Amino acid sequence: MSVGDEEFPMFDSFLHHGTGGNQGSDLHSTGTVWDKLNKFRWIREKLYPHQIEGIEFLWRNLAGGIELDVKNMNASGDVGGCIISHAPGTGKTLLTIAFLKTFMETIKDCRPVLIAPGNMLLTWEEEFKKWQVDISFHNLSSAKLSGKEDCASLKLVQNKRNIWWIRFAKIASWIKGNSILAVSYHQFERLSAESDNGEIVGFKAEMRKILLERPNLVILDEGHTPRNKNSKIHKCLKNVQTERRIILSGTLFQNNFDELYSTLCLVRPKFADTISNRKDKNDGTLSRGNWVSLTSSIGKSSDDQQLEKLQKMMKPFVHIHKGSILQKELPGLQECVVFLNPSPLQKKFLQKVKEGIKNSFEFDHAVAIVSVHPSLVTRCNVAKQSGQVNSCVTKLIDETQQIKEEDFRLNYNEGVKTKFLMQLIKLSEAMNEKVLVFSQFLDPNSLICDHLYSALGWRVGEEILRMDGTLDVNKRQSLIHRFNDPNSPAKVLLASLGTSGEGICLTGASRIVLLDVVWNPSRYKQAISRAYRLGQKKVVYTYHLIASRTPEEDKYCVQARKDHLSQLVFSTENGKIENPDNPSSEYSDEILQSMMGNNKFKDMFDKIIPRESTLLETL
C-alpha cells in the first residue's frame, strides 16, 4: 500500500501474530492485584487510600474483581468502562500507572491506548519514566521516535522521513510488545474519522482499523473533553470496539446534564439501558428523554429523590474523591472572590460596549478585557470582529484620545484589575512568593508584561514567564520546570486558561489570580489545582477578580449555579455537599490585608467574599 509517493508494508503481513483487540488473555497469575503491586515498593508506598480504592475499583469494573485469576477477565456481563472522578491534583496519573502495571502484567496481550490533550502527552511520558514501570511509551502525536520501538520496526523505517513511517513503527511496536500507545484527541480524530470525501483506502484505512479494533483498553485523560455528542471526536470514540474504557476527570460535570449524559454513555455504552424502560432499550431518543426527566428538577427543589436515583445509577462505575487528601496533606487553601470598583473610564467604556455590541461572544470579549484595563478596548478593533464592534470601538477611541497614548497604556493604575495585580505581585515578591495569573485572552497578559517591564524592569524569559497555546510542547515542559525551580529568577507566570488542563504541575506558585470570569466553573477548578495539588509546600491563596456592577457579576452567578449542580451530583449519598478544602477563616492573608489597609488602594475594593460562601445569596 502507499501514502503519497512511498510504499508501505502491509500491517497484516508484518504483524500477523498480534491478536484482536477483544480476544483472549494470557492468565497464569494467582493471588490479588496487591501481590503484583507489592513488588514495586517505590510505587506502593506512595499510594494514598483514595488511590488504593481507585485501583481496586478499576479492577472490579474492567476485570470483575481484584483476584488475578478472576473468571470475568474475558467475559462481558458487568465488566465495562468506568470513571475515576477524583479532584484535580490528587494523583490520578500515578493511580492509572499503578493500575496499568498490574493489568498489563496479568493480561499479556493487553494493548492500551491513552488519549489525552496534546499538551499532556509529554507529562504522561515523564511520569512513566519517573515511576520506572518498564512500559514503553509510544507517542503517536510526535514526529520523533522514542528509541523504545521494536527492532524490526526501527529497521524498516531507518532513514525514512515520512511521518507515516514513524507512525508505522510506533503502531507496530505497540502491537508487538509491552507498551502503551498515546495519542492526542486531535490526532485520534484525524486518524480514525470516517472520510468526508469517499472511502478511506490503503495505509490510512489500515491505521483507522487498527485504532478502532486493536485496543483492548482505552484511557481518556480529561475524559470530559469529548462531551459534545455532536462532535467528531465523540463519534470517533464511540466507534472504538472495546468496552474496557477508563475516563479520568477531576471536573466531570462541565456545563449541564446533557453533557454529563454523553460522557457517561461514552465510557459505558450500555448506560442508556439503565434509565430506559424495557421497550425503550434500543431507542437513544427515549433514553435521553428519560434522562432529562430524571435530572430536570435537580437543584431546583428540596426533593432529593431524583438526585439519589442519579447517584445510585452512577455509583457502580463512577469512583468519586472530592479531594479531602489535599486538606490532610497540604498546608492549606484560601480562596476569595474580589469585587473591584472599575475606574470612571472603565465604567464609561463598559456602558458604551453594552449599548453598541449586541453579539454575545463579541460583547463577552469586550467586557472581559476592558474590565482589566481601558486601553485594551483598542484590541477589540481587529479585522475578525464584526462591523458593529469596529463602529463601537472607533467611536470610543475618537471620543477618548488618551487611550491612544503610550503613557496611558503603561499606567497600570488606570485599570482596576491591573492596579490590584501589580500591587499583589510587588508584595508577593517581597515575601518570596511566586504568582500565577490566568486569563482567557492573550492581550491582557501582553499588557501586563509591559507593565512589569515599565514599573519593575522585569523581562519575559527571566522574571516573567508566559504559557499559552502557541508554546511548543517541549518548551512548555521546560518552562514549567523553570517556574517551579526555587532558584530560578522567575517570579510570575502569565498563562492562558487553555493551558490549565489536568496534570500540569505549577506548585512553585502560592498566589493565583484569575483575571476574568468564565461560564464553565470547571475551568476555575482546573486553574487553581495547577498549584493546589499534592507536592505543594505553602498555603495557596487565590483571587478571582470581578468588576463590580458589570456583566461580570451576572456571569459569575451563572458559574456559581453550575458549580452548585456539580457539587450536588457528586455530593455524599444523603445529598450533603462536602467541602474538602480548608476553611478560609483559618488563614490570614497578610498581602490582602495590607492592600485593603493602604489608603492608595482601599478605595478600589467593593467587597471580598470567601469562595466557599454561596455567591447566589450575596449578590
181 in the same domain as 63: yes
355 in the same domain as 259: no
CB neighbour class for 4 (10 Å; exposed up to 12, middle 13-18, buried from 19): exposed
In a domain, 4, yes or no: no
Question: Which of 385, 405, 425 represents a domain boundary (last residue)?
Answer: 405
Torsion of CA 122, 127, 130, 132, to 10 degrees: -110
Question: What is the model's pLDDT at position 420?
Answer: 98
In a domain, 473, yes or no: yes
537 in the same domain as 444: yes
pLDDT tens-digit series, residues 282-314: 555 657 788 888 888 888 776 678 899 999 999
Mean pLDDT comparison of 410-414, 498-502, 559-563, highest-scoring range = 410-414
d(CA 353, CA 351): 5
249 in the same domain as 120: yes
In a domain, 483, yes or no: yes
Contact 484, 409 (CB under 8 A): no
What is the chain's length?
619
pLDDT tens-digit series, residues 198-218: 666 677 888 899 999 999 999
379 in the same domain as 330: no
Question: What is the model's pLDDT at position 616?
Answer: 46
- Name 136's bridge partners: 179
Question: What is the model's pLDDT at position 9?
Answer: 55
Question: What is the model's pLDDT at position 474?
Answer: 82
Residue 152 vs residue 383, higher pLDDT: 152
d(CA 442, CA 257): 31
Which range among 95-99, 248-252, 272-276, 397-401 shows the weakest confidence by mean pLDDT?
A: 397-401
- 98-124: burial string, b at 16+ Cβ within 10 Å, e else: bbbbbbbbbbeebbbbbbbbbbbbbbb
Q: What percent of the chain has pLDDT over 70?
A: 82
Question: Which whole number is the average pLDDT over 175-190?
Answer: 93
Question: What is the model's pLDDT at position 382?
Answer: 47
Contact 173, 138 (CB under 8 A): yes
- Per-residue pLDDT band for 570 (boundaries 50, 70, 90) equals confident
pLDDT tens-digit series, residues 422-432: 999 999 999 99
- Per-residue pLDDT band for 574 (boundaries 50, 70, 90) equals very low
pLDDT tens-digit series, residues 240-250: 999 999 999 99
497 in the same domain as 420: yes
Question: What is the model's pLDDT at position 490?
Answer: 98
d(CA 559, CA 68): 45
Q: Mean pLDDT of all residues in the chain? A: 85
83 in the same domain as 190: yes
In a domain, 273, yes or no: no
In a domain, 298, yes or no: no
Residue 136 vs residue 197, higher pLDDT: 136
Range of the domain at 73: 29-268+317-321
Q: How many CB atoms are closer than 10 A to CB 557? A: 14
- Alpha-carbon radius of gyration of the chain: 26
- Specify the CATH number for the domain of residue 171: 3.40.50.10810
454 in the same domain as 380: no
Helix 92-106 crosses helix 49-63 at what angle (to 10 degrees)?
Answer: 40
- Per-residue pLDDT band for 165 (boundaries 50, 70, 90) equals confident
Which range among 29-38, 251-260, 490-499 shows the weakest confidence by mean pLDDT?
A: 29-38
Question: What is the model's pLDDT at position 93?
Answer: 96
Question: What is the model's pLDDT at position 296?
Answer: 86
Task: Give all strands of the β-sheet with 112-116 in edge-to-edge order.
Answer: 136-139, 179-184, 112-116, 217-221, 245-248, 82-86, 318-321
Is pLDDT above 70 for 180?
yes
What total of structural domains would you count in the chain?
A: 3
Q: Which of 57, 86, 130 is nearest to 325 (CA)?
A: 86
pLDDT tens-digit series, residues 97-154: 999 999 998 887 889 999 999 989 999 999 999 999 999 999 999 888 888 888 877 7
- Specify the CATH number for the domain of residue 432: 3.40.50.300
Residue 516 vs residue 69, higher pLDDT: 516
- Name 609's bridge partners: 337
450 in the same domain as 471: yes
Contacts of 199 (CB under 8 A, 6+ apart): 205
330 in the same domain as 447: yes
421 in the same domain as 393: no
Question: Which whole number is the average pLDDT over 242-262?
Answer: 92
Is pLDDT above 90 for 73?
no
In DSSP notation, 366-396 reads HHHHHTT-GGGGGGG-STTS-HHHHHHHHHH
Question: What is the model's pLDDT at position 184?
Answer: 95
Question: What is the model's pLDDT at position 149?
Answer: 84
Residue 357 vs residue 196, higher pLDDT: 357
pLDDT tens-digit series, residues 314-335: 999 999 999 999 999 999 999 9
pLDDT tens-digit series, residues 521-533: 888 889 999 999 9
Question: H or E element: which one contains 293?
Answer: helix 284-295
- Per-residue pLDDT band for 22 (boundaries 50, 70, 90) equals very low
Is pLDDT above 50 for 619?
no
In a domain, 564, yes or no: yes
Residue 575 vs residue 369, higher pLDDT: 369
In a domain, 275, yes or no: no
Contact 183, 114 (CB under 8 A): yes
Q: What percent of the chain has pLDDT over 90?
A: 54
Question: Which whole number is the average pLDDT over 527-550?
Answer: 96
d(CA 344, CA 547): 12
Question: What is the model's pLDDT at position 283?
Answer: 52
Question: What is the model's pLDDT at position 6?
Answer: 53
Question: What is the model's pLDDT at position 541?
Answer: 97
Question: What is the model's pLDDT at position 108?
Answer: 78
- Per-residue pLDDT band for 615 (boundaries 50, 70, 90) equals very low
| Residue 604: DSSP 8-state | G
In a domain, 360, yes or no: yes
423 in the same domain as 378: no
